[in-house]
Chains A and B, each alone.
Chain A
Amino acid sequence: MKINKNMLFTIIGVLIILIIAMGLSLIASSFPDGLEKVAENYGFIDRATVVLSEGFFLIPDYAFQGVENEYAQTSLAGLFGVLMIFALFAIVYLIYKLVSAGRTGKDNKDKAIKI
């Protein structure tokens, strides 16, 4: 497969996203966010509950439970989230391609304005 300019741009974009999710996420501030701070200041932070059991969540609090190391937990959580979102849109993309395969015309626009 020939690597063209568009593919290169996309690959670099995906790499940047992975660096953010798996690397930069390790140095994120751990201070409470704006809403949590307000809730702490006015004493209603304790009202926060989890309506479902924690077991429902695959990666609670961005900590991937398969490994011990805290940094690895965050990195893997970031990787997993990014892959999951790509997978979701990939499914939509494939369905769209399948549906529009029969109907040409609309997709020609894609060829006209190549990114």
Chain B
Amino acid sequence: MHIPDGFIDLKTAAATGALSAGGLAWAIYGIKKYFRARVIAMMGVMSALIFALQMINFTIPGGTSGHLLGGALAAIILGPHAGAIVIAVVLIVQALIFMDGGIVALGSNIFNMAIIGVYGSFAIYWLLSRISKSKWMFFIAIAAASWASVVIASFFAALELGVSGTYAIGITIKAMLGVHAIIGLGEAAITLAIIAFIYRVRPELILTRNGGLK
């Protein structure tokens, strides 16, 4: 859901841009605690993986497509701070090199997908993981967090469109939530598959589950 330029007005772009700058500053501050060579290497691989996966649009009913956002994937593997930076890097490269997502709208896109999508989904994952440390709760938390990351991001995208006066806010929110509730299922399936694979072959790489964030 990369917002192109022209969909949101300048005040909305400025406001979300400021929030994104603050969010990324917080992420950089937060990552200092566990920033080391291994984590930087993992962030690079995660960023490249999410960039590649974002090229793969899958068809959903109604002549529409969606692709992975990766916010929950990055947050659950690397922790929310590194996750936010990873997604922001992907969005910046896409906007500046590939014309995917607007330049003026970049702040909004970072806010929706890298800040809200990452920290929001991580909050859900963290809360569910507190209920039980079991493997099944881990997978349920992944599915719920990744589905929610897409839906929450689409809500904020719709809110920004509405506030900008691009289209009636209520209708936009309803339409965006409807289509992204389905795209979110794809997000959950892909995120689950990738994390289940890593859990099987290299569980120690899942930093949020083995105390890697210290």
Which residue numbers of A lie inside 8 Å of B, CB to CB? 9-10, 13-14, 16-18, 20-21, 24-25, 28-35, 37-39, 41-42, 44, 47-52, 54, 57-62, 74, 77-78, 80-82, 84-86, 88-90, 92-93, 96-97, 100, 106-107, 109-110, 113, 115
Kindly list chain A residues whose C-beta atoms are within 8 Å of the C-beta of B175.
38, 41-42
- Contact status A38-B172, CB under 8 Å: yes
Which of A13, A24, A33, A54 contacts B64 (CB under 8 A)? A33
The verdict on B84 contacting chain A, using a C-beta distance below 8 Å, is no
What chain A residues lie within 8 Å of B202 (beta carbons)? Answer: 9, 115
A20 to B184, CA, bound (A): 20
Nearest CB in chain A to that of B201: its residue: A9
Residues of B contacting A30 in the complex (Cβ-Cβ under 8 angstroms): 57, 65
Contacts of B104 in A (CB 8 A): 51
Contact present for B98 and A35 (CB under 8 Å): no
Residues of B within 8 A of A107 (CB): 36-37
- For the complex formed, measure the closest distance between the CB of A75 and the CB atoms of chain B, giving whole angstroms: 10
Q: Given A38-B176, A38-B179, A44 and B40 touching (CB < 8 A)? A: no
